[in-house]
């Protein structure tokens, strides 16, 4: 080690102790910090609880100039600001977001522009505003941090396109040194992050994906009823608190009701709830007032809760990266924790179906119309025969309708849900799936279009 490198390493270690009270750094953290201080872009892929935030916090502390942190969720921003402001001798941090009042955001900007705050946290959507870029140019950040950088790939193509424009923002700000941090990043995701953020010859660090305190289990089921019963019984038996992940809002509500009826303090969490209610569930879970949160993927990112004893999945995730991200919320205290994936063989077909592209809208409409017109549940084989479709393809189409909450299955067969059947207008015309005649109830066609765009890599590799 050269004298210069030795002095840098010593300065980093001293700053970690003085400003944050950290006795030492983990492998990879020092490498990343030294690279950033040497104006080298960094992509760090490190497991949950490893200390990714320490990289930008120490680099920002020792770097000349302010640090801009792009963070996806308000709750996560608030946690990061609190962590910096509560540290013994760290620079002040402020956040500008829609959760603040106009006065609070104005005060945050004034503190940043005056040099009283060295860390500024924003969302990608804030950076899409020309006036925000103009204000940042008045005091250009010298370190640009993208936290939860996998969102560039997993969210940017769907409902948060401003993630895809972060590279342009970086260029507009004169390309400060960039630090991208994530807990999950397969090789294709890493490549996309580097490309989208316009990283220049970055140092790419991947460290320690193994979580030895986590027990990974997979349970295969023959039908949906058996799977639901097994999920409920396991959640009842496991040490608390924990998380139960499901694929739809409807399942979130159904499982929460079932678990509450068995004596657990359980709440549903999904994007359809009012923000105030989501915040109540969030706070109750952090304060150990809930045994379990039954959630869609809308819940979890930025949840810094160390004593989560289990993460159970009642549905296959949209990708292997998403699965790793979600089970990573268990056992952050290093104590034993359980992660279990419950699945049916049909669930794998559904995810493969999504990956293969959009469904044929005419076939999808015919399946739904046949189910809705039937007075009784239909066996899958009978449905396939009546429509002259293969059994496998019919099964995939039925699974897609179930994902959209307009069909259900049981021991007697498949049927359209009562809500869907009462809302059906047999001869109504209008904008349906992919512009066809409406054969799916209003409101559900958007869900089907959304689901059909998904292009996941299924965690089926761990099932075989």
CB-based contacts of 191: which residues, under 8 Å, 6+ apart? none
How deeply is 387 buried, as exposed, middle or buried, from its count of CB atoms within 10 A (0-12, 13-18, 19+)? middle
Least confident piece of the model among 81-85, 380-384, 438-442:
438-442
Asked if pLDDT for residue 231 goes beyond 90, the answer is yes
71, 375, 416, 428 from 371: Cα distances, Å: 44, 8, 5, 17
pLDDT in tens, 387-424: 888 776 787 788 778 767 688 776 688 888 765 544 44
Contact between 311 and 326 under an 8 Å Cβ cutoff? The reply is: yes
Which has the closest alpha carbon to 22: 111, 74, 88?
Answer: 88
- Cα angle vertex 187, ends 185, 192, to 5°? 80
pLDDT recorded at residue 178: 97
Asked if pLDDT for residue 269 goes beyond 90, the answer is yes
Averaged confidence pLDDT in the chain:
81
The 3 state secondary structure assigned to 168-205 is HHHHHCCCCEEEEEECCCCHHHHHHHHHHCCCCCCEEE
Contact between 52 and 181 under an 8 Å Cβ cutoff? The reply is: yes
Question: Tokens standing for 93?
Answer: 């941090």
Least confident piece of the model among 4-18, 53-67, 139-153:
4-18
* pLDDT band per the 50, 70, 90 thresholds, residue 382: confident
pLDDT recorded at residue 176: 97
- The position carrying tokens 């490549």 is 191
Average pLDDT over residues 425-450: 34
Specify the pTM.
Answer: 0.64
**How big is the chain by its Cα radius of gyration, in Å?**
24
Which has the closest alpha carbon to 348: 445, 232, 462?
Answer: 462
The more confident residue out of 351 and 272 is 272
Please state, in angstroms and rounded to a whole number, the distance separating the CA atoms of residues 419 and 422.
5
pLDDT recorded at residue 434: 30
pLDDT recorded at residue 2: 63
Asked if pLDDT for residue 341 goes beyond 90, the answer is yes
Asked if pLDDT for residue 425 goes beyond 60, the answer is no
Report the first-to-last Cα separation within the chain, whole angstroms.
47
Total length of the chain: 464
Average pLDDT over residues 221-245: 96
The SS3 call for residue 429 is: coil
Domains of the chain with CATH codes: 3-206 (3.40.50.300), 214-347 (3.40.50.300), 356-452 (1.10.10.10)
pLDDT in tens, 270-322: 878 887 898 899 889 989 999 999 998 877 666 778 899 999 999 888 777 77
Contact between 416 and 428 under an 8 Å Cβ cutoff? The reply is: no
The separation between CA 390 and the C-alpha centre of its own chain, rounded to angstroms, equals 35
Contact between 378 and 371 under an 8 Å Cβ cutoff? The reply is: yes
Give the count of alpha carbons within 13 A of 271, CB side only: 7
Phi, psi of 70, deg, nearest 5: -95, 115
């Amino acid at each position: 080690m050269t004298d210069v490198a030795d002095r840098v390493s010593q300065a980093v270690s001293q700053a970690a102790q003085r400003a944050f009270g950290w006795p030492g750094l983990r492998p990879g953290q020092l490498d990343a910090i030294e690279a950033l201080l040497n104006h080298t872009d960094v992509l760090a892929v490190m497991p949950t609880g490893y200390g990714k935030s320490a990289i930008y916090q120490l680099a920002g502390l020792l770097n000349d100039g302010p640090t801009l942190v792009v963070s996806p969720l308000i709750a996560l921003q608030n946690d990061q600001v609190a962590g910096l402001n509560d540290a013994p001798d760290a620079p002040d941090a402020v956040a500008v977001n829609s959760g603040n009042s106009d006065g609070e955001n104005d005060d945050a900007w004034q503190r940043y522009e005056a040099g009283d705050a060295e860390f500024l946290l924003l969302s990608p959507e804030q950076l899409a505003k020309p006036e925000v870029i103009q204000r940042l140019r008045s005091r250009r950040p010298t370190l640009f941090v993208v936290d939860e950088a996998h969102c560039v790939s997993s969210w940017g193509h769907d409902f948060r396109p401003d993630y895809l424009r972060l590279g342009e923002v970086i260029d507009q700000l004169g390309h400060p040194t960039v630090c991208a941090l994530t807990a999950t990043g397969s090789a294709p995701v890493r490549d996309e992050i580097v490309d989208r953020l316009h990283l220049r010859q970055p140092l790419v660090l991947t460290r320690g994906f193994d979580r030895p305190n986590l027990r990974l289990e997979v349970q295969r089921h023959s039908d949906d009823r058996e799977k639901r019963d097994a999920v409920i019984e396991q959640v009842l038996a496991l040490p608390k608190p924990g998380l139960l992940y499901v694929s739809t809002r409807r399942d979130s509500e159904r499982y929460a009701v079932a678990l509450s009826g068995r004596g657990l303090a359980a709440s549903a969490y999904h994007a359809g709830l009012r923000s105030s209610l989501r915040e109540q569930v969030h706070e109750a879970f952090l304060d150990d007032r809930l045994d379990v949160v039954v959630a869609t993927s809308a819940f979890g990112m930025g949840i810094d809760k160390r004593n989560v004893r289990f993460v159970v999945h009642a549905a296959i995730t949209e990708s292997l990266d998403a699965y790793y991200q979600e089970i990573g919320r268990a056992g952050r205290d290093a104590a034993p924790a359980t992660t279990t994936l419950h699945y049916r063989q049909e669930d794998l077909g559904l995810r493969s179906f999504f990956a293969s592209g959009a469904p044929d809208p005419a076939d999808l409409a015919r399946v739904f119309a046949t189910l809705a017109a039937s007075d009784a549940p239909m066996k899958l084989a009978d449905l396939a025969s009546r429509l002259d479709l293969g059994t496998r393809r019919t099964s995939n189409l039925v699974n897609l309708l179930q994902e959209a909450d307009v069909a259900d299955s049981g021991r007697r067969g498949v049927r359209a849900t009562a809500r869907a059947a009462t809302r059906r207008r047999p001869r109504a015309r209008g904008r349906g799936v992919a512009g066809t005649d409406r054969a799916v109830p209003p409101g559900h066609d958007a869900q089907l279009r959304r689901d059909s765009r998904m292009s996941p890599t299924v965690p089926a590799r761990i099932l075989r």
